[in-house]
Chains A and B, each alone.
With several copies, the nearest count.
Chain A
Amino acid sequence: MRLGLFAAAMLASTAILPAYAQEAAKEIQPEEITNVKITAGTEMLFSMDLALNHVVDGRIYVMDAKTLKPIGIIGTGSLGMAQFPQGSKDIYVATSHLSRTTRGERSDFVEVYSGEDLTFKEEIPISNNRAQALNYRSLFQPSAEMKYLFVQNATPATSVTIVDLAAKKQIGDIPNPGCYGIFPSAKTATRFATLCGDGTVGTIDVKPDGTGEMKPSEAIFDADADAIFTSAYRWGDYWVFPSYGGNIYVIDVEGDTAKLVDKIEVAKGVEGNWRPGGYQPLTVHDKNGIAYMLMHSNGTEGSHKNPAEEIWAVDLKAKKVIGRSKSVPAIGLTVNQGDKPALFAIDGLKAEIVRYDLPDAGKEFALTPAVAASGGDLPDQVEVR
């Protein structure tokens, strides 16, 4: 029952409630009003909604990954980023709040929410310079061992805020001028890489005092001719990037400076000028070593955010396309990492999340449409854990 009928109770005697309601109480067991409990171990799908029409009120729609039935919502403020680290039970949000909703003073925070019941746990103040951008997974990343959280800043000068998770405070703000995006080392908790406009990849080692210098790699890509998307996925210790021109760059950021491991020319020799497109155009099933890419035909300069017509499966070891399938007009894609893999795509036109079931490991590539559900007003990132 909780506090349910307070209003009715309080106001009954002052003619605020009609007489019939005052007579209403009879011998019946009133229903208790409580909260839904999330079943432990539920695989969750997270649709990040930019909500551009109401940009101060972004949110994460949380769904059951199997059925896409709603579980709840987490508010993410103004152009907030979110992270759902595998192995963690928490959800991290880096965002901004304005003191008067759409105006007034800006305050930035890393916020921690429980992945078990979606409740707010705590907030860590950070400097007010984080990139207020569309949801790109590379703008907010945890380090190896969850020692740090890294937040990409832009004023528009770029730098990276370092949050110490044990101390629960910001310990540094390291410039990465001309560079953007955070790609942490898998083994070294103090190390991350960043993509630079001159085609190099910078590596930054965070010192205990929160400072650090960027060490450039050799030139790895050409931002004019074949720009790399900043939405990347891990494959083992590597980071896997799609490029505007239809290639996959496999980059090793574990060392002192970053190295190009492989460049797979996915679309080469295929008729129709197919290219990757969208905001999250590639995902990798780590165990199988298969990348899935959102591809559109007749690609041109400027088509790099076009929704997909097909999803391609690329075997990263064999370095070849192993399958193609029709797709909803998707602008974002992720894959779960279990033994029964499924793809989750953002239908950019319907603003829906679509689940495609994938064949078991070793079977031929095919997509089986399973379920679809609203992903919010303008979802631009999808994650699963």
Chain B
Amino acid sequence: MSKLIDKLFGAIDHVTERGSRQMAHRLGRRTFLSFVGKVAVGGAIMPLLPFDRDGGGTARAAAEKTDQECEYWRYCALDGFLCTCCGGTINQCPPNAQVSAVTWVGTCQNPGDGKEYLISYNDCCGVASCGKCLCNFNLRERPGYRMGVHNDINWCMANTQSNYHCTVAAVVGLGNSNG
């Protein structure tokens, strides 16, 4: 875990420079990490996520949507081009696009198991905008004063290559929207 944190902090210090370093300082390193720690390293040995990644099987039967369609369940708070239409996959950027260093999140219900999952929407960066499969869903999305759930901004902002290309939607935890 400390290696992960070092990597995270190293990268943050590097890419977002003054702003985020100040912020981390202001909030305190412990507070800063409390959330990431839980999500990133919780239950590290679970072998598989409880749903089909390509939207097939149970999940797809229920949702009837593939991950190249805006209505696919993971996209409940995604605003952007689906990387699945741009040479990427649901959680992989196209070959030459940088994974964004920072993200916004959504909490979406998987119709396959009825559970809610925390979704990290990473932009893929540094390549001309993909232009395919533009989607816009905004469940629990808020303006920039709730930056972590705001989707009207370029989340490649902290990358050395800052141009927006497309967006992936990775499951990073179980969610609980309380309704």
Interfacial residues, chain A to chain B (CB-CB below 8 A): 1-18, 20-38, 52-57, 59, 62, 69-75, 78-79, 96, 98, 101-104, 106, 113-114, 117-120, 129, 131-134, 136, 152-159, 175, 177-181, 194-197, 223, 227-230, 279, 301-305, 374
Q: A18-B149, A24-B107 are contacts. A154–B144 as well, Cβ < 8 Å?
A: yes
Q: Which residues of A contact B40 (CB under 8 A)?
A: 1, 4-5, 30
Contact of B104 among A1, A3, A8, A36 (CB under 8 A): A8
A104 to B162, CA, bound (A): 8
Q: In the complex, A158→B134 CA distance in Å?
A: 27
**Residues of chain A lying within 8 A (CB to CB) of residue B38:** 25
Further pairs besides A12-B34, A119-B95, A120-B96: 20, Cβ < 8 Å: A4-B103, A7-B147, A13-B31, A13-B34, A16-B145, A18-B149, A27-B43, A32-B170, A56-B163, A71-B94, A72-B94, A103-B126, A103-B127, A129-B19, A134-B153, A154-B144, A155-B157, A156-B148, A175-B22, A230-B144
Is B62 at the interface (CB under 8 A from chain A)?
no
Task: In the A-B complex, list the 3 residue pairs whose CB atoms are closest, starting with the nearest.
Answer: A25-B38, A180-B144, A27-B43
> Which residues of B, 1-47, contact A by the 8 Å Cβ criterion?
4, 7-8, 11-12, 16-20, 22-24, 26-27, 31-36, 38-40, 42-47
Contact A33 B91 (CB under 8 A): yes
- Shortest CB–CB separation between residue B115 and chain A, in angstroms? 10
Residue numbers in B under 8 Å from A11 (CB-CB): 146-148
Which of chain B's residues 77-107 have a Cβ closer than 8 Å to chain A? 77, 81, 85-89, 91-97, 99-105, 107
Pick the contact of A20: B88, B107, B138, B153 (CB < 8 A).
Answer: B107
**Scoring B residues 159 to 179 as 1 if CB is less than 8 Å from chain A, else 0, what string do you get?**
001111100101111111110
CB <8 Å contact, B162 and A10: no
Interface centre among B92, B95, B132 (most CB of A within 10 A): B95
Q: Are A53 and B129 in contact (CB under 8 A)?
A: yes
Nearest chain A CB to B121 CB, angstrom units? 9
A4 and B86 contact, Cβ closer than 8 Å, known pairs A25-B35, A98-B163: no
* Chain B minimum-CB-distance residue to A77: B128
Q: Please determine whether A30 and B172 come into contact, CB atoms closer than 8 angstroms.
A: yes
Residues of B within 8 A of A53 (CB): 129, 131, 134
**B39 is contacted by which of A5, A104, A304 (Cβ under 8 Å)?**
A5
Is the C-beta of B143 less than 8 angstroms from some C-beta in chain A? Answer: yes
Q: Are A6 and B132 in touch, CB under 8 angstroms?
A: no
Pair B23/A157 contact, Cβ less than 8 Å: yes
A197 touches B173 (CB 8 A): no
Report 14 cross-chain contacts, Cβ distance below 8 Å, ordered by A residue.
A3-B99, A3-B100, A4-B40, A4-B122, A4-B172, A16-B145, A21-B148, A35-B95, A36-B95, A54-B128, A55-B164, A56-B128, A78-B162, A223-B145
Give CA–CA (A45, B127) in the complex, Å: 18
Cα separation A59 to B129 with both chains bound (whole Å): 10
Query: Could you list which residues of chain B lie within 8 angstroms of chain A, going by C-beta atoms?
Result: 4, 7-8, 11-12, 16-20, 22-24, 26-27, 31-36, 38-40, 42-49, 53, 76-77, 81, 85-89, 91-97, 99-105, 107, 117-118, 120, 122, 126-132, 134, 136-150, 152-158, 161-165, 168, 170-178
CA distance A21 to B103 in the complex (A): 14
C-alpha spacing A32/B53, complex, angstroms: 12
> With A24-B175, A28-B174, A196-B145 known to touch, is A9 a contact of B139 (CB < 8 Å)?
no
Tell me, in angstroms, the Cα distance from A161 to B19 when the chains sit together: 12
In the bound assembly, the distance between CA atoms of A14 and B120 in angstroms comes to 19
Given contacts A1-B4, A37-B95, A302-B76, contact A155 B158 (CB under 8 A): yes
* Chain B residue with Cβ nearest A180: B144
Could you tell me if B162 and A132 are in contact, using CB atoms closer than 8 angstroms? yes
Chain B residue with the shortest CB-CB distance to A78:
B163
Q: Are B132 and A132 in contact (CB under 8 A)?
A: no
**Chain A: which residue is nearest B156 at the CB level?**
A132
Instruction: Determine if B154 and A79 form an interchain contact, defined as CB atoms under 8 angstroms apart.
Output: yes
B23 to A10, Cβ gap below 8 A?
yes
In the complex, which residues of chain B have a beta carbon less than 8 angstroms from the beta carbon of A75? 127-128
Known: A73-B165, A132-B153, A132-B157. Is A33-B127 also a contact (CB below 8 A)?
Answer: no
- Rounded to whole angstroms, the CA-CA distance of A21 and B140 in the bound complex is 10
Asked whether, in the complex, the Cβ of A5 is within 8 Å of the Cβ of B120, the reply is yes
Contact of A24 among B4, B154, B176 (CB under 8 A): B176
B104 to chain A: which residues have CB within 8 Å? 7-8
